[in-house]
Chains A and B, each alone.
Chain A
């Protein structure tokens, strides 16, 4: 019983509902109280314990319907042919097998009909009549002939557990696992019996052999369905996680277009996490609300005469960031991601001002605020991406626009490759900014070895930045920003 629940929870987890072990325990004790008898009650109960946001509730609803869908199947029961004989018990009784085996049964009606169809085909080729059948000897044979679906499903589930079906990862493994489950159930023994029955002279045994063959095919199909279903429940999301992990490490210029959405999500999550982690701090104030208990305790040693006052207040501190992004041709592959990151950062951090340039520099903060990510990036690239890079001019522009707003709490981030087309570097301007601000950080998408090759003039700028880092993957970006937020405080 508990297994059903845990496997339901792991299905929820793959559907991206975050459930902690403590919540699993809560769910167990809640279900202990409510039982499995009433489906709606069970759903209401689990809906209170497991999903904790509105989005998660929706996912939960879908997953629950998928996972515990046996009631609907018993409703679509049609004629009571042989294989469907005991469908009636399915109802709301709850054995482990029903939760897990529901997938296999959903196909039951179709294959059941098919099996009897084949039966008549076979009788044409070899007329054995409809006489009595012999007793099967193999374990699996007996099980099949008993025609007890619930027990069969239990067996399938057990075997699946034994071969660790829940570890299935990619869809190509489906065949393998189907085979393994069948083997585990004793397919070899069954096949021996079928083979030997063919050579037997007695009609009942040959009839049995034929019947067993049909049922074996049917079983194979059931198991395949079961594996399919489990794959969807357990592995699909793992693939996603794998992809995400990979994307974080790959060079940003190599990310394919179709993965942009995913990257965007990762970037957004990253920015949010970093800001949440670093945005709060305590500051002792010299005025504000009197902290009575602390004051009294501190003054106790002075005979209770109050003269050493303590105040309480917490200041929420958000770093003041200016970001300048090169969007010219040479870094165009990276510019998208840098802008994407800027955009996400602006969404979670109120005090970011963004600038873009290739030759002339312009502020894009408002553009980012007003437009969706895609539009904002497209517009930025359109407006600023056409010229040839001129870092000197960009710095001059930046100084003109913002030197009044820069103070000793400001951090300036420059994203670019410092390829200046042999123009004037104007590093003196950067020095000025360096003196004014708290930190200047330069993120260069090229690897360190090429920083000074060709028209790249990183060497002229590095003396006037606090930190120069190579940054061309999400992992780099995360590290840099984490450092940034830590040092800003």
Chain B
């Protein structure tokens, strides 16, 4: 564990280590990981799509060399898919077996009272760990060395599921009616929740979490990110394409390009052996960064001026 502690000794050290794992981040983000590690509080990450919310959890797991357990949320997700489920088939078999051995158990019993007494003595394992199938949340609690638990796109799940999460988020335990409370083993997991803001997350959930908002990066940070992710790209082109993207983000678009789009674009341009941006090239590769035809049509006329601006930036 000591090694991890040394890793998380300070915000700067975390930031550097995240960078080693090719995740370039601001101080705010590194501070969030720092607090999550030391306070063992879940982090709720919000922000536009494609700014690296999920990636942060993945990289953190990689950095701490912990297993990553991921729960993808969707409408209709419930406890049987998130926490635990009984192995029904085996349970049914067990009742069959039980029926057959009943005679042996009750052999020689005098009267009803004694029979029931014998039955009670007989171990009841119908609802027990043996017949339980752990799902991601329970698995995360049972990891010996701790783990990183990623609850992805929590805003896509229902209200009920949110309430289900409260117990695990605040106390790192889940209550299973038939068995009792299952607590985290030695090391509680580091929990990251991500949300795209499709709906408002309840106050109760927010209250239990650190709240991290990841905005689009500024020019400098984005350049460093591209440098880390696509190191082969020449510096001049990198500057130009980041400037272009930054320019696009200020425009009125249905969906503005995120970091992941910038990275894709950088890879595309690299593949085409581009050295510098020009309007025709931009027009041809625009569908990598803009995902709506409407947006593409809208900026079509502006491409030369934006390109010019980006090239001369």
Q: Which residues of chain A have a CB within 8 Å of any CB of chain B?
A: 18, 20, 22-23, 26, 29-30, 33-34, 40-41, 44-45, 47-49, 51-54, 57, 280, 289, 292-293, 296, 300, 303-304, 312, 314
Q: Which residues of B contact A303 (CB under 8 A)?
A: 95
Across the interface, do B159 and A280 meet the contact criterion of CB distance under 8 Å?
yes
Give me 14 other A-B pairs in contact (C-beta within 8 A), A22-B207, A33-B35, A304-B95 excluded. Answer: A20-B207, A41-B27, A45-B31, A48-B31, A48-B32, A48-B210, A52-B207, A293-B80, A293-B86, A296-B86, A296-B88, A300-B95, A303-B95, A314-B160
* Chain A CB within 8 A of B92 CB: yes
Interface residues of B in 198-213 (CB under 8 A from A): 203, 206-207, 210-213
What 6 pairs across the A-B complex have the smallest Cβ distances?
A44-B31, A52-B206, A48-B210, A52-B211, A44-B28, A304-B95
How far, in angstroms, from A57 to B46 measured CA to CA in the complex? 12
How far, in angstroms, from A357 to B176 measured CA to CA in the complex? 58
A58 CB → nearest B CB, Å: 10
30 A-B pairs with CB atoms under 8 Å apart are: A20-B207, A23-B207, A26-B41, A29-B39, A33-B35, A34-B35, A40-B27, A41-B27, A44-B31, A45-B35, A47-B28, A48-B32, A48-B35, A48-B212, A49-B211, A51-B211, A52-B44, A52-B206, A52-B207, A54-B46, A280-B159, A292-B80, A292-B88, A293-B85, A293-B86, A293-B88, A296-B92, A300-B95, A304-B95, A304-B96
Across the interface, do A304 and B31 meet the contact criterion of CB distance under 8 Å?
no
Contact of A314 among B158, B211, B213 (CB under 8 A): B158
Which residue of chain A lies nearest to B84 when distances are taken between CB atoms in the complex?
A: A293
Which residue of chain B lies nearest to A38 when distances are taken between CB atoms in the complex?
A: B11
Q: Which residues of B contact A45 (CB under 8 A)?
A: 31, 35
Q: Which residues of B contact A54 (CB under 8 A)?
A: 46, 213
B205 CB → nearest A CB, Å: 10
Q: Which residues of A contact B44 (CB under 8 A)?
A: 52
Q: Which residues of A contact B91 (CB under 8 A)?
A: 296
Interface residues of B in 132-180 (CB under 8 A from A): 158-160
Q: Which residues of A contact B31 (CB under 8 A)?
A: 41, 44-45, 48
Contact of B39 among A33, A44, A53 (CB under 8 A): A33
How far, in angstroms, from A26 to B206 measured CA to CA in the complex? 12
Contact of B213 among A30, A57, A292, A312 (CB under 8 A): A57
For the A-B complex, the count of residue pairs with Cβ-Cβ distances under 8 Å equals 66
Q: Mark B1-40, 1 if CB is under 8 A from A, else 0.
A: 0000000000100000000000000011001100100110
How far, in angstroms, from A89 to B78 measured CA to CA in the complex? 57
How far, in angstroms, from A47 to B32 measured CA to CA in the complex? 9
Q: Mark B57-79, 1 if CB is under 8 A from A, else 0.
A: 00000000000000000001010
Which residue of chain B lies nearest to A313 when distances are taken between CB atoms in the complex?
A: B76
A302 CB → nearest B CB, Å: 11
Q: Which residues of B contact A34 (CB under 8 A)?
A: 35
Q: Which residues of A contact B32 (CB under 8 A)?
A: 48
B-side binding surface: helix, strand, loop or mixed?
helix
Q: Which residues of B contact A57 (CB under 8 A)?
A: 213
Most chain A C-beta atoms within 10 Å of own C-beta, residue among B44, B91, B213: B213
Which residue of chain A lies nearest to B170 when distances are taken between CB atoms in the complex?
A: A22
Contact of B11 among A41, A52, A293 (CB under 8 A): A41
How far, in angstroms, from A48 to B46 measured CA to CA in the complex? 12
Q: Which residues of B contact A312 (CB under 8 A)?
A: 78
Most chain A C-beta atoms within 10 Å of own C-beta, residue among B39, B76, B86, B158: B39
A309 CB → nearest B CB, Å: 14
Across the interface, do A30 and B39 meet the contact criterion of CB distance under 8 Å?
yes
A300 CB → nearest B CB, Å: 8
How far, in angstroms, from A45 to B88 measured CA to CA in the complex? 47
A269 CB → nearest B CB, Å: 13
A41 CB → nearest B CB, Å: 7
Q: Which residues of A contact B203 (CB under 8 A)?
A: 18, 52
B53 CB → nearest A CB, Å: 14
Q: Which residues of B contact A41 (CB under 8 A)?
A: 11, 27, 31
Most chain A C-beta atoms within 10 Å of own C-beta, residue among B31, B39, B91, B159: B31
How far, in angstroms, from A44 to B206 measured CA to CA in the complex? 17
B298 CB → nearest A CB, Å: 22
Q: Which residues of A contact B212 (CB under 8 A)?
A: 48
Which residue of chain B lies nearest to A306 when distances are taken between CB atoms in the complex?
A: B92
How far, in angstroms, from A29 to B39 measured CA to CA in the complex? 8
How far, in angstroms, from A244 to B88 measured CA to CA in the complex? 57
A42 CB → nearest B CB, Å: 10
B161 CB → nearest A CB, Å: 11
Q: Which residues of B contact A292 (CB under 8 A)?
A: 80, 88
Which residue of chain B lies nearest to A29 when distances are taken between CB atoms in the complex?
A: B39
Q: Which residues of B contact A49 (CB under 8 A)?
A: 35, 210-211
How far, in angstroms, from A304 to B213 measured CA to CA in the complex? 51
How far, in angstroms, from A280 to B158 measured CA to CA in the complex? 11
Which residue of chain A lies nearest to B12 when distances are taken between CB atoms in the complex?
A: A41
Which residue of chain B lies nearest to A18 when distances are taken between CB atoms in the complex?
A: B203
Most chain B C-beta atoms within 10 Å of own C-beta, residue among A26, A34, A52, A53: A52
B92 CB → nearest A CB, Å: 5
How far, in angstroms, from A47 to B46 measured CA to CA in the complex? 13
Across the interface, do A44 and B207 meet the contact criterion of CB distance under 8 Å?
no
Q: Which residues of A contact B160 (CB under 8 A)?
A: 314
Which residue of chain B lies nearest to A22 when distances are taken between CB atoms in the complex?
A: B207
Q: Which residues of A contact B46 (CB under 8 A)?
A: 54
How far, in angstroms, from A34 to B11 measured CA to CA in the complex? 10
Q: Which residues of A contact B159 (CB under 8 A)?
A: 280
Q: Which residues of B contact A30 (CB under 8 A)?
A: 35, 39
A433 CB → nearest B CB, Å: 35
